[in-house]
Every structure is written in structure tokens, then in C-alpha cells.
């Protein structure tokens, strides 16, 4: 009987000796096998792992076939070697060469791959303005390097771009400052003259004030777009309260109708956390003259239902405002006349009058207390007293009943007696 091991055929005795040697190595009585690099091989590794396949077997013992035998290519090639973009090889040719581009005359690419501007007659027929060959480098990249979107990126390009933007921003600021100086000088010249037009009396519109010199020449649509943009220095509405259960922010209309600080206490140190700083878009709708305008609109609706078609909030806003003012005056007059009639009939005029200001004025008294509650400085506030007599001791006692405890009974601390009606005979 014979067997094979490591690609060779073994006899029965050799196979038995091989098995005994493997058993001795596993038991630790024989030294472990060493590979070509001088590393010991663990004898407990199975044969199907330690034996190399036939197509990569070198005939030597070892675990090299289990390691990564192909070297990994670098995923990023630095400044030492990269594609030479825009570089040319030598000088431009003087005549057309075979297998060259018909458009520019370079041999590094074909006509369909030419990046030059298409000529009416190419260099093949004119023989003029020949271009030199481009430098083409062949760089072998790994699988990850080919798919790396930042492979070959040079950070110096971004730095140059930022420097250009800084120069443009500085020039824009200087121009804006000069325009403001000119506007102030013109305003000082016009201080002595009275306004002659309606625009001078009312001032410029918000759109003209917000728009810059470039935006002034734009159309009305572009002006509205500029006005809808949020000032970059202002805090965004969705950043005021990061709690997901707080007020809802609509990104489409950029509105937050509810108060983002609802349920939070105002912080005196930070103005951004105070509810009075920003209370939502609905707070603006219910403030100033918005409620008055809504009342006028409701008045116009009710008047139209009663048959008065002259009151219309959109068509006749001025007439509707005047009619609403007359309605409010009549309503207040009727209300006051009814109240006066009730007072004349039943009385109680003194309850409708406000108290004197002297009675409502707060009292200013400075009192300073210690940690134990005693008055340190100022006048102490007198303790509230009931209608019953206080601080009275019965039957010659100097302490109240219940000020002493002994064996489950209450008594007087002055004479140690437990009977409530007992006469005090002094300290015992």
C-alpha cells in the first residue's frame, strides 16, 4: 500500500514514519517543521490547509500559499508620480506624420479623441499649426485606487481657489464701502432741500434697500429671490431648539409657526433662550395691527351677509375701515349707556371706580435676616395675630401642656406634671 504526500508517492513504511513524526510533533517530543523563511509551522494545522494546491505548489514546505502573495498597489500616488496633464513631448513637428491626428497633427491620440477646437481644414491638409505629442503615462493602480474619487487630488489647487475668493471678497467690500461713502455724501448735500416727490417723502422701498448695486438692475423676480434669502448672521429657525418634539419647521416655506421655546424658562444671561426673543411666526400674526385687520375683515363678511355690499375688505379697504370705526364707536356708546342705566337703577358706582394710587403703591421696607431666621438689620414684619388671646399661661405654668414627654404621657416642662388641670408648683 502506498500513499502520496506533498506531491510525491510514499511507500507504506515511509507513510508510517511520516505519521509517527507528525504525532511526535503534535505531542511536542519532536521539533516543529520550519518553512523556507525560518518560521515554525504549527503541527496542529490540518493537511488541507498546509498543503499547497498543485497549480501554485513550489515543492517547499510552508504556508506562503495562505498569505497574500500579490503585492498591493498604493491607493494614492503623491506628488512624485502622477499623470502629466498638459505636458508636451518635444517640439511641434513641421510636417504631417503618418497615423497622426487629422485635426492637430499629434500622434498621441486619434482624430475622434482630439481635444483641440475642430478646424475647418485640419493640419493633415494645411500642414500648419502642428501640435506636439502629449505626455502619456501608464500608471498601474489597484482596485481601490481606480475607484477612489480623491485619487490624484492636489490640495494646493483648493488653496489657490480660496485665495482668489478672498481677493474678490476684499474688492467687493472696498467697493461697497466706497458706495456707502458716496451715498452719505449725497445725503448730506440733500439735507437742506425739502422732498419734492412722493418717493422722497416716503423713502425707498424695502427691496431697494436690501438689494445691492448689482441687484438694482435685476428684474422684480430676482429682487424677491434676494429678499427671501436669510441673513447668514441670523440663527436659523430649526437650530433654535433641537428637540424633535418641539415646534415643527417647514423647510419648503421656511416657517416655524409654533413657539420653539414653549415650556422653557427664560435665561437672563442668554438672550437666545428667552421666549420674548423669538416666539414663532404665529406670534407675529397675532401682534401689532394684524388683529385689527382681521377684525375689519370679519366685519366686512358680516356686513355682506346682512346685505351691505359696500363694505368689502379687498375692493374698498378705506371705506371698510371708516365703517368699522363708526361701528366700534356706536357699540361702545351703547355699551356705556347700558352700564350707566344699570348703575342708576341698582347702584354700585363705587365698585366700578379704581382705588387711589396711594393705596396700590408698594411698601418699601428693608429687612435683613440671618440663616436662623432672626432679624439682623431693618424693621421686622410683625407676626400675624389671631383674634384669640396669645401667650397666656394657665394655673401659674411657664410652659404649655405638651412641652414635656415621659413614659408615653404628655405634660408640662416647667413642673413635670402630666395632668392638664394641675396647678404649677415650680420646677421639680
Residue 70 DSSP symbol: S
How many of the other CB atoms lie within 10 Å of CB of 39? 12
C-alpha grid cell, residue 396: 401659674
Look at residue 428 in the predicted model and tell me its pLDDT. Answer: 55
The Cα–Cα gap between 130 and 92 comes to 6
Instruction: Please report where in the chains the cell 487629422 appears, as a residue.
Output: 102
Which residues in 47-102 belong to E strands, given as ranges? Answer: 88-89
- The answer to whether 131 and 90 are in contact (CB under 8 A) is no
The Cα–Cα gap between 270 and 272 comes to 6
138: alpha, beta or left? (left if phi > 0; alpha if psi -120 to 50): beta
Look at residue 311 in the predicted model and tell me its pLDDT. Answer: 85
Within the chain, how many helices (H) and strands (E) appear? 14, 8
Q: Render pLDDT for 180-220 as a digit per residue (tens, 0 to 9).
A: 999 888 888 887 654 444 444 444 444 444 444 444 444 44
Residue 388 CA to its chain's centroid (Å): 66
**Phi and psi torsions of 140, nearest 5°:** -85, 115
Low-confidence spans in the chain with pLDDT less than 50:
1-3, 5-6, 75-79, 194-227, 268-275
With CA atoms as reference, report the closest residue to 123 among 95, 99, 91: 95
The Cα–Cα gap between 348 and 344 comes to 9
The Cα–Cα gap between 365 and 20 comes to 107
Give the max Cα distance, the chain. Answer: 143
Give me Rg for the CA atoms of the chain: 50
The Cα–Cα gap between 118 and 287 comes to 67
Amino acid at each position: 500500500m502506498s500513499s502520496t504526500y506533498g506531491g510525491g508517492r510514499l511507500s507504506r513504511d515511509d507513510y508510517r514514519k511520516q505519521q509517527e513524526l507528525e504525532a511526535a510533533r503534535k505531542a511536542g517530543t519532536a521539533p516543529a517543521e520550519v518553512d523556507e523563511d525560518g518560521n515554525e509551522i504549527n503541527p496542529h494545522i490540518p493537511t488541507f490547509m498546509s498543503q499547497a494546491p498543485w497549480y501554485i505548489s513550489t515543492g517547499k514546505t510552508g504556508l506562503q500559499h495562505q498569505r497574500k502573495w500579490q503585492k498591493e498597489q498604493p491607493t494614492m500616488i503623491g506628488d512624485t508620480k502622477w499623470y502629466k496633464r498638459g505636458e508636451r513631448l518635444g517640439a511641434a513637428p513641421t510636417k504631417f506624420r503618418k497615423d497622426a491626428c487629422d485635426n492637430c497633427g499629434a500622434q498621441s491620440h486619434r482624430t475622434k479623441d482630439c481635444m483641440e477646437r475642430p478646424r475647418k481644414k485640419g493640419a493633415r491638409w494645411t500642414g500648419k499649426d502642428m501640435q506636439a505629442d502629449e505626455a502619456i503615462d501608464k500608471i498601474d493602480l489597484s482596485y481601490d485606487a481606480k475607484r477612489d474619487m480623491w485619487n490624484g487630488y492636489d490640495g494646493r489647487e483648493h488653496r489657490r481657489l480660496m485665495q482668489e475668493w478672498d481677493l474678490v471678497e476684499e474688492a467687493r467690500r472696498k467697493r461697497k464701502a466706497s458706495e456707502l461713502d458716496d451715498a452719505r455724501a449725497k445725503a448730506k448735500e440733500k439735507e437742506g432741500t425739502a422732498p419734492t416727490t412722493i418717493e422722497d417723502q416716503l423713502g425707498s422701498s424695502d427691496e431697494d434697500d436690501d438689494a445691492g448695486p448689482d441687484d438694482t438692475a435685476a428684474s422684480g423676480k430676482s429682487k424677491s429671490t434676494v429678499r427671501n434669502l436669510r441673513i447668514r448672521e441670523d440663527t436659523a429657525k430649526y437650530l433654535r431648539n433641537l428637540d424633535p418634539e418641539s415646534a415643527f419647521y417647514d423647510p419648503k416655506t421656511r416657517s416655524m409657526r409654533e413657539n420653539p421655546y414653549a415650556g422653557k424658562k427664560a435665561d437672563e444671561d442668554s438672550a437666545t433662550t428667552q421666549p420674548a426673543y423669538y416666539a414663532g411666526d404665529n406670534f407675529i400674526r397675532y401682534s401689532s395691527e394684524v388683529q385689527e385687520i382681521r377684525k375689519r375683515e370679519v366685519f366686512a363678511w358680516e356686513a355682506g351677509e346682512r346685505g351691505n355690499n359696500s363694505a368689502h375688505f379687498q375692493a374698498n379697504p378705506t371705506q371698510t375701515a371708516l365703517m368699522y370705526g363708526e361701528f366700534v364707536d356706536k357699540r361702545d356708546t351703547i355699551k356705556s349707556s347700558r352700564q350707566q342705566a344699570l348703575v342708576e337703577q341698582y347702584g354700585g358706582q363705587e365698585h366700578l371706580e379704581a382705588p387711589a394710587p396711594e393705596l396700590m403703591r408698594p411698601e418699601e421696607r428693608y429687612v435683613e435676616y440671618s440663616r436662623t431666621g432672626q432679624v439682623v438689620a431693618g424693621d421686622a414684619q410683625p407676626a400675624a395675630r389671631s383674634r384669640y388671646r396669645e401667650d397666656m399661661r394657665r394655673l401659674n405654668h411657664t410652659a404649655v401642656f405638651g412641652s414635656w414627654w415621659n413614659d408615653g404621657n404628655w405634660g408640662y416642662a416647667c413642673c413635670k406634671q402630666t395632668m392638664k388641670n394641675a396647678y404649677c408648683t415650680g420646677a421639680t
